[in-house]
């Protein structure tokens, strides 16, 4: 079978081991995804019904990619029937089908972290607890880890160990908060992320018939990134697979980086205890990276004590040594990264999308972004405030949520007075107190607000208008398609008018466009054919809302298409690969994080994180650190990361800037080291001074000053002809030779031309750097 021929020996054996429990320990870049997809394809070709296969991945993106790959092997009709997705999305789907058994409606809302946090804050207020002591994030993570270990609020309060710990830290009320929190979720017909897994366990534990149903339905289970599963996920898999034990888990203990979220590495280490006849396969050959990269990564991970013994090796080229970039400030770090990318692009003729910049924290993206913008290099950021995290998007989605599930208190509170309709804080507070007293959702209270005497009559009228509006939307839920209804809601709720009015300023324009983008997305969804069996012919808004809370930025399909540099956290980069990788911010207290230095386990997780980052690289890896960095608006000095000391010098090229620049750009950025150092050190010292000078200036003058700064920094070479180049001219480029200008874009610094060169095809050039000579006007 040709399928197997594309795999190495161990990979083949892993694929052919279809029956019974098996574990694949897959080193970084060893073709893990390949094995997983081929195994699924192999099962299907062997005659297994795709409906009987469940494949669990870590991200939606991974699921989508895997599905696409399987499609190319077995065809789309077969591939589409495999149940493939994240734990959260797959089990949300099952929970919706079985919801009433647990006392939930099938259209329950999934609360995201913001919703959860806002509930916690309200509870703290009601209970008059100190927000500084009970930090919402901490409370939430305590609750979350309880849930991930399947400790219900009842068990929590009955667990002396847990309650004792809370008391000792002065937070004895966490158990109570947990209880109230769960009540609120229940009242709102909502589940948070952890509940999706927790309640799946409850379902499979308390309803044997349901368990049997799914055990019969699914005969083959495959779990990707098994090292990052938590107890809750582990138990779901164990329960479902108990019947056939046709379970394949794939993972790499060296890449376990989600312990903070409850991931338990024991799940992988103890596999053979749960399954005595477990077959284990080790994939140790790396197909991704150069020998140098593999060598560095191996040396780094050796510093960790706990790990499964394995040796990653590669037949790939030796490759270049890893390069170290050292800068004086975070801004300079951004510029240096950008310049290096620019130089490599020119030198090696590679795409923007061949580059990734990886960092430990999202906050680091800004300096990098600035650098890239200055060099006109397109980039896309994954994570951070995602599209769905934007205020205007959340507001609009809140309307949709409320229409789907009127008990969704968080959604209601978001929109009851947005846009303003005269229902202010005092009223809302009254309603909340009353609803809590009656133990009902806000909607149930306001539905019959007229007959109660909670608020003055004029306010009650306004509330009724709101209620009727939502009800009028709800009528159309099953008759209109998602887009028609979404559009209708947007226009009739006042949101459309509100955003149109705010369009006068730059930020307003963006919000308006975001709204349009969301609607466009819903339109696309409405026109898509449903792949559910027996689904009705129209795709409705409640279908669209099903797992919208589970979508993240990384799932944005549009991002995959554009040719641009990728910026993301190392966590988000897991499973991905790029020819050129920059790992930035390698400084003590940043990477490893200050918060990880208390324990060996946490430090080892940071080191695994570094390992993951290194092993993303295919051809070249750059490591950068800065001697100072802005944190909380203040300049902080930093020392190089301890991880840099762990690097084996024989893999490292420690000549910083000069080596990085190609001859071509070198001409433009002549003597960069000296210039940069002096200019940036001046910048650091001057920063506070400049600031105090700036304060009295009116805003406009301040902006002008900033523009000047940017301009002067960007004045790398004053190329005289660059502005006189026009479409149609014949030009000469030092490297590409003779060419013809096809189009011109941008102004001044940003002026770009696409030029067709006789020898090397069409190139987009930034005129400021390209040094084109005009041959013929």
For residue 702, state whether it binds DNA (rule: CB under 7 A). no
Instruction: Pick one of 75, 170, 172, 422: the residue that binds DNA (CB under 7 A).
Output: 422
Smallest gap, in angstroms, from Cβ of residue 610 to DNA?
12
Smallest gap, in angstroms, from Cβ of residue 232 to DNA?
10
Q: Taking CB under 7 A as the criterion, which residues in 53-92 touch DNA?
A: 58-59, 86-89
Q: Taking CB under 7 A as the criterion, which residues in 569-608 touch DNA?
A: 569, 571-572, 593-596, 602, 605-606
Q: Taking CB under 7 A as the criterion, which residues in 101-120 touch DNA?
A: 113
199 vs 481 by CB, closer to DNA: 199
Q: Taking CB under 7 A as the criterion, which residues in 657-686 touch DNA?
A: none
12 vs 230 by CB, closer to DNA: 230
For residue 338, state whether it binds DNA (rule: CB under 7 A). no
Matching residue, tokens 């005497």: 453
Tally the C-alpha atoms within 13 A of residue 611's C-alpha that lie toward its C-beta.
26
Cβ–Cβ under 8 Å, residues 92 and 546: yes
Backbone torsion region of residue 284, taken as left when φ is above 0, otherwise alpha when ψ lies between -120 and 50, otherwise beta: alpha
Active-site position among 142, 360, 616, 629 = 616
Smallest gap, in angstroms, from Cβ of residue 55 to DNA?
15
Smallest gap, in angstroms, from Cβ of residue 71 to DNA?
22
Q: Taking CB under 7 A as the criterion, which residues in 183-202 touch DNA?
A: 193-194
- 279-283 sheet: strands from edge to edge: 83-86, 53-57, 220-223, 247-251, 22-26, 279-283
For residue 474, state whether it binds DNA (rule: CB under 7 A). no
Active-site position among 52, 255, 314, 490 = 255
44 vs 94 by CB, closer to DNA: 94
DSSP states of 185-251:
HHHTTEEEHHHHHHHHHHHHHH-HHHHHHHHHH--EEEESSGGG-BHHHHHHHHHHHTTT--EEEEE
Cβ–Cβ under 8 Å, residues 341 and 375: yes
Pairwise CA distance, residues 36 & 625, whole Å: 37
Coil, helix or strand at residue 583: strand
Coil, helix or strand at residue 659: helix
Query: Going by DSSP bridges, is the β-strand pair 730-733/279-283 parallel, antiparallel, or unpaired?
Result: unpaired
Closest of 13, 85, 36 to residue 252, by C-alpha = 36
Clarify whether 255 is annotated catalytic.
Answer: yes
Write out the H or E segment, with its range, that includes residue 565.
Answer: strand 565-569
Clarify whether 339 is annotated catalytic.
Answer: no
Tally the C-alpha atoms within 13 A of residue 731's C-alpha that lie toward its C-beta.
29
SS3 content of the chain, % helix, strand, coil (to 5): 55, 15, 30
Number of chain residues interacting with DNA (CB under 7 A): 51
Which ranges constitute the DSSP H helices of 326-481?
330-348, 365-374, 391-404, 409-415, 425-438, 442-447, 457-475
Clarify whether 771 is annotated catalytic.
Answer: no
For 661, the token pair is 């620049």
Only segment of 132-140, 614-622, 674-682, 723-731 that touches DNA (CB under 7 A)? 132-140
List C-alpha distances in Å: 540 to 29, 188, 534: 41, 22, 14
Only segment of 76-84, 218-226, 305-313, 413-421 that touches DNA (CB under 7 A)? 413-421
Active-site position among 32, 122, 339, 511 = 32
Only segment of 23-31, 99-107, 432-440, 624-632 that touches DNA (CB under 7 A)? 624-632
In degrees rounded to 5, what are phi and psi of residue 179?
-60, -50
Instruction: Pick one of 4, 206, 260, 637: the residue that binds DNA (CB under 7 A).
Output: 260
Clarify whether 69 is annotated catalytic.
Answer: no
- 138 to 177: interface string for DNA, x by CB under 7 A: ----------------------------------------
Instruction: Pick one of 100, 103, 132, 777: the residue that binds DNA (CB under 7 A).
Output: 132
Q: Is 456 exposed, middle or buried (0-12, 13-18, 19+ CB in 10 A)?
A: exposed
86 vs 329 by CB, closer to DNA: 86
Clarify whether 17 is annotated catalytic.
Answer: no
Smallest gap, in angstroms, from Cβ of residue 322 to DNA?
23
86 vs 441 by CB, closer to DNA: 86
Tally the C-alpha atoms within 13 A of residue 28's C-alpha that lie toward its C-beta.
30
Only segment of 349-357, 626-634, 669-677, 756-764 that touches DNA (CB under 7 A)? 626-634
41 vs 398 by CB, closer to DNA: 398
221 vs 736 by CB, closer to DNA: 221
For residue 360, state whether it binds DNA (rule: CB under 7 A). yes
104 vs 258 by CB, closer to DNA: 258
Instruction: Pick one of 691, 699, 718, 720: the residue that binds DNA (CB under 7 A).
Output: 691
Clarify whether 33 is annotated catalytic.
Answer: yes
Q: Is 583 exposed, middle or buried (0-12, 13-18, 19+ CB in 10 A)?
A: buried
DSSP states of 322-344:
EEEEEESSHHHHHHHHHHHHHHH
For residue 757, state whether it binds DNA (rule: CB under 7 A). no
For residue 181, state whether it binds DNA (rule: CB under 7 A). no
Instruction: Pick one of 6, 77, 137, 164: the residue that binds DNA (CB under 7 A).
Output: 137
Number of CB atoms found within 10 A of residue 144's CB: 18
Cβ–Cβ under 8 Å, residues 376 and 750: yes
Q: Where do the DSSP E strands lie in 252-296?
A: 279-283, 285-286
Question: What is the contact surface with DNA in residues (CB under 7 A)?
Answer: 58-59, 86-89, 113, 121, 132, 135, 137, 193-194, 257-258, 260-261, 360-363, 383, 417, 420-427, 459, 550, 552, 554, 568-569, 571-572, 593-596, 602, 605-606, 630-633, 691
Catalytically annotated residues: 32-33, 224-225, 255, 616
């Amino acid at each position: 079978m040709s399928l197997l021929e594309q795999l190495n020996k161990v990979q083949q054996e892993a694929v052919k081991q279809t029956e019974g429990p098996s574990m694949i320990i897959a080193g970084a870049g060893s073709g893990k995804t390949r094995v997983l997809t081929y195994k699924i394809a192999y099962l299907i070709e062997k005659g297994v019904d795709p409906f009987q296969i469940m494949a669990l991945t870590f991200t939606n993106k991974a699921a989508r990619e895997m599905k696409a790959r399987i499609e190319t092997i077995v065809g789309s009709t077969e591939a589409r029937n495999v149940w493939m997705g994240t734990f959260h999305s797959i089990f949300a789907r099952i929970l919706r089908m079985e919801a009433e058994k647990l006392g939930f409606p099938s259209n329950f809302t999934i609360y995201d972290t913001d919703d959860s946090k806002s509930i916690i804050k309200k509870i703290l207020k009601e209970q008059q607890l100190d927000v500084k002591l009970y930090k919402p994030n901490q409370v939430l993570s305590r609750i979350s880890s309880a849930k991930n270990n399947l400790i219900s609020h009842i068990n929590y309060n009955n667990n002396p160990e847990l309650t004792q710990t809370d008391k000792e830290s002065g937070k004895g009320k966490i158990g109570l908060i947990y209880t109230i929190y769960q009540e609120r979720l229940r009242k709102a017909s909502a589940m948070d992320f952890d509940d999706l897994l927790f309640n799946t366990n409850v379902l499979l534990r308390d309803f044997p018939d349901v368990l049997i149903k799914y055990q019969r339905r699914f005969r083959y289970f495959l779990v990707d990134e098994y090292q990052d599963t938590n107890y809750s996920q582990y138990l779901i898999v164990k329960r479902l697979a108990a019947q056939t034990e046709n379970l394949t888990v794939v993972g790499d203990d060296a890449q376990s980086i989600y312990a903070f979220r409850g991931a338990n590495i024991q799940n992988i280490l103890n596999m053979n205890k749960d399954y005595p006849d477990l077959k284990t396969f080790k994939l140790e050959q790396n197909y991704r990276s150069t020998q140098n990269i593999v060598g560095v990564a191996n040396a780094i991970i050796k510093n960790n004590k706990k790990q499964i013994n394995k040796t990653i090796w590669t037949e790939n080229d030796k490759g270049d040594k890893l390069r170290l970039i050292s800068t004086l400030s975070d801004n300079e770090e951004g510029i240096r990264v950008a310049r290096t990318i620019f130089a490599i692009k020119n030198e090696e003729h590679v795409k923007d999308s061949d580059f990734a910049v990886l960092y430990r924290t999202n906050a680091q993206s800004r300096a990098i972004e600035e650098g890239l913008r200055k060099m006109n290099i397109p980039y896309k950021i994954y994570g951070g405030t995602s599209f769905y995290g934007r205020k205007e998007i959340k507001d609009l989605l809140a309307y949709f949520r409320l229409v789907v599930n009127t008990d969704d208190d968080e959604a209601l509170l978001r929109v009851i007075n947005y846009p303003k309709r005269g229902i202010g804080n005092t009223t809302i507070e009254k309603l909340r107190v009353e609803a809590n007293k009656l133990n009902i959702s806000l909607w149930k209270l306001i539905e019959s607000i007229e007959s109660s005497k909670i608020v003055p009559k004029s306010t009650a009228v306004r509330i009724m208008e709101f209620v009727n509006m939502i009800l009028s939307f709800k009528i159309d839920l099953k008759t209109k398609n998602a887009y028609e209804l979404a559009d209708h809601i947007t226009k009739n709720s006042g949101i459309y008018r509100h955003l149109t009015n705010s369009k006068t300023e730059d930020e307003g324009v963006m919000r308006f466009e975001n709204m349009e983008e969301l609607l466009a997305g819903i339109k696309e969804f409405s026109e898509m054919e449903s792949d559910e069996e027996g689904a009705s012919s129209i795709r409705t808004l409640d279908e669209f809302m099903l797992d919208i809370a589970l979508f993240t930025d990384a799932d944005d399909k549009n991002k995959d298409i554009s040719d641009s540099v990728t910026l993301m956290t190392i966590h988000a980069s897991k499973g991905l690969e790029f020819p050129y990788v920059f790992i930035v911010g390698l400084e003590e207290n940043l990477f490893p994080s200050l918060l990880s230095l208390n324990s060996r386990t946490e430090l080892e997780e940071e080191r695994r994180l570094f390992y993951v980052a290194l092993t993303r690289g295919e051809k070249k890896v750059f490591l950068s650190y800065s001697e100072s960095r802005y944190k909380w608006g203040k300049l902080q000095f930093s020392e190089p990361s301890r991880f840099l000391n762990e690097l084996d010098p024989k893999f490292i090229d420690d000549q910083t800037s000069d080596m990085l620049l190609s001859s071509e750009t070198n001409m433009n950025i002549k003597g960069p080291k000296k210039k940069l150092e002096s200019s940036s050190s001046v910048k650091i010292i001057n920063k506070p001074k400049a600031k105090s000078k700036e304060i009295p200036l009116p805003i406009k003058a301040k902006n002008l000053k900033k523009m000047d700064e940017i301009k002067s920094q960007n004045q790398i070479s004053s190329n005289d002809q660059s502005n006189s180049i026009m479409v149609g001219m014949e030009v000469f480029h030092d490297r590409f030779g003779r060419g013809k200008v096809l189009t011109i874009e941008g102004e001044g610094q940003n002026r770009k031309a696409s030029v067709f060169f006789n020898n090397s095809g069409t190139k987009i050039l930034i005129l400021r750097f390209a040094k084109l000579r005009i041959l013929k006007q």
